[in-house]
Amino acid sequence: MTTFLGAIADDLTGATDLAGLLARSGIPVSLRMGVPEHPPAETAALEIIALKCRNAPVDEAVEDTLAALHWLRQAGAQRFFWKYCSTFDSTPRGNIGPVAEALMRALGTSQTIYCPAFPENGRAIFMGNLFVGEQPLSESSMKDHPLTPMRDSNLMRILRPQVTLAVGLANRLVVAEGPQALRKRLAQLHADGVSHVVIDAVANNDLHTIGLACHDMTLLTGGSAVAMPLPQIWLDQGLLSRDESRGRLRAEEGTAVVLSGSCSAMTTRQVSAYLESGQPGFRLDPLGLAQNGPNEALDWLSKQAPEAVPIVYATAAPGAVRAAQEILGVERASMLVEQALAACAVKARDLGARRYIVAGGETSGAVAQALGVTKLDIGMEIAPGVPWCFARTGGHDVAIALKSGNFGNETFFSHALEILGT
C-alpha cells in the first residue's frame, strides 16, 4: 500500500498516542521504532516513525527527523505531521521549533501550525495559552517536570526563542467561525510574513474545524488529537480508502508485567491504585541501582507467582526524584532507571510474559529497544491516546501498551489488562 501520511513523533509513547487516534478511522496504521534501516516495503497508508529526540541536542534532533522525513518520502507520503507532547514539553532552545523549521525547509513550505490541544485528556489552548484541565500549564504538575519544567503557559512565548521566523496566533474566536474563517486568518498571517501559527482549540469540534481548514497543508505540527480528524477528511475526499488488513493483532498466551518509569502526577496515582488492588510491586531506587544494578529487581521478578501481574516502578514524588538527581545527576539517574526497567522487560519475556504495560516516554523507548521491537501494529484503544499494540520479540508475538505519563485514569493498569482478558 502507498503511504499517504508520514508522521514523525519525538518519543515512543507520543507515537503510540498518535497511532491510536489515527486508527479510530479504520485505516491501517504502522509504527516504526526509529528510522528503518531498509527502504520502504509493505507500508501502511498511515506511517509513523517514533524517534527519541524530545530531550536530545537540537542538532541531533534535527538530523534524526530529517532522516525520518527522507524515509517517509520514499514511502510515498504526501502529507506530513510532526508530533510532540500535548504539554508542549521543550526547553528554550527546542526541540519543537527547530525541528519544525528544518522540516519546513526540506519540504519547501512557508507556513505550518502548532496545536497541542487534546480535549479528551484535558489539554486546551485559549488565546495562545495551554491549559491542563482548568490549570494553566505553568501552574500544573508540569511546572516541576524533572527534564522539561514548563514555567510559562503561553505557547507563542515558548516558541519564539526556538525559531527564526515570525510567530502568530489564530485564536478561539476565529476557530469558532469555522474552516473558511480560519483559512482566511492563516492566509492573512502568511501575507504578513508569519510562518509559525499557534491555533486555539478547546473542544473536539475545534479540532475538526482545524482539520477542514488545514488538511491540504504539506506539514502540520501538534499533539496527536489535531491529527485525529484528518483520515476521515481524506477518506471523504477520495484521497484514502479503507483496507481490512490490519497487520499482526494478536499475542501468545502468557503472563503480564507492568513497568513504570514515569513520575507524572497521574502515573503516581495509577501506581498507588494498582498496588492497593493487591498486585505485587517492586520500587526501583536510583541510588540503589547506582550501587548494585538491577539484580535485586530481576531476582524478585523470577519469584513471582504465575497468576500475579507484578509491577516494577521508579515512580516517586518530585522531591525524591530531585534528591536522587542531585546526587547522581539528571541524566545518570534517568539512565539507571531506564536500563533497569529494560532489563526487567527482557527478564519478564524470558519468564513467559507476553503482555506488557509500560508507563513513561523514555521508559517505553528503552523497553522497546531492549526487546528488539522495531515495528508495532496498532490495535484497540485502552484510553484516549493509548492503544494496545502488537509486536514480535524473541520469536514471540506479544501485546504492549506504551503510555505517556499523564494519560489514562487511576485504574488504567487494571483496565488495560481486563481489555485483553488477562
User: Mean pLDDT across the stretch 360-370?
Assistant: 90
Omega within 30 of 0 (cis) for the link into 95: yes
SS (H, E, C) 341-376: HHHHHHHHHHCCEEEEEEECHHHHHHHHHHHCCCEE
pLDDT score, position 418: 94
pLDDT score, position 297: 97
Query: In the predicted model, what is the mean pLDDT of the chain?
Result: 93
User: Mean pLDDT across the stretch 23-29?
Assistant: 90
pLDDT score, position 13: 85
What confidence category does residue 422 fall into, taking pLDDT thresholds of 50, 70 and 90?
A: low
pLDDT score, position 45: 93
pLDDT score, position 175: 98
Residue 104 φ/ψ, nearest 5 degrees = -60, -45
Query: Which three three-digit cell numbers place residue 329?
Result: 545527576
- DSSP letter for 161, please: G
Q: Which CATH number is correct for 255-419, 3.40.980.20, 3.90.980.10, 3.40.640.10, 3.40.50.300?
A: 3.40.980.20
Return the C-alpha torsion angle 78, 84, 87, 90, nearest 10: -130
User: Mean pLDDT across the stretch 224-233?
Assistant: 97
Residue 5 contacts residue 79 (beta carbons within 8 Å): yes
Q: Which residues in 50-64 are b (16+ Cβ under 10 Å) and which e?
A: bbbbbbbebeebbeb
pLDDT at 64 over 90: yes
Residue 16 CB-half CA count within 13 A: 34
CA 10, 11, 14, 18 dihedral sign is positive
CA 328, 331, 334, 336 dihedral sign is negative
Residue 10 contacts residue 97 (beta carbons within 8 Å): no
Give CA–CA dist 222/116, Å, rounded: 5
Q: What does CATH list as the number for 5-236? A: 3.40.50.10840
Query: Which three three-digit cell numbers place residue 289?
Result: 541501582
pLDDT at 321 over 80: no
What confidence category does residue 385 fall into, taking pLDDT thresholds of 50, 70 and 90?
A: confident
What confidence category does residue 409 fall into, taking pLDDT thresholds of 50, 70 and 90?
A: very high
Q: Where in the chain is the domain with CATH 3.40.50.10840?
A: 5-236
Tell me how long the chain is. 422
User: Mean pLDDT across the stretch 127-134?
Assistant: 95
pLDDT score, position 1: 66
pLDDT score, position 248: 60
User: Mean pLDDT across the stretch 299-307?
Assistant: 95
DSSP three-state, residue 113: strand
User: Mean pLDDT across the stretch 372-381?
Assistant: 91
Give CA–CA dist 178/213, Å, rounded: 8
Query: Can you say whether residue 165 is alpha, beta or left, with left for phi > 0 and alpha for psi between -120 and 50 degrees?
Result: beta
Give CA–CA dist 104/81, Å, rounded: 11
Q: Where in the chain is the domain with CATH 3.40.980.20?
A: 255-419
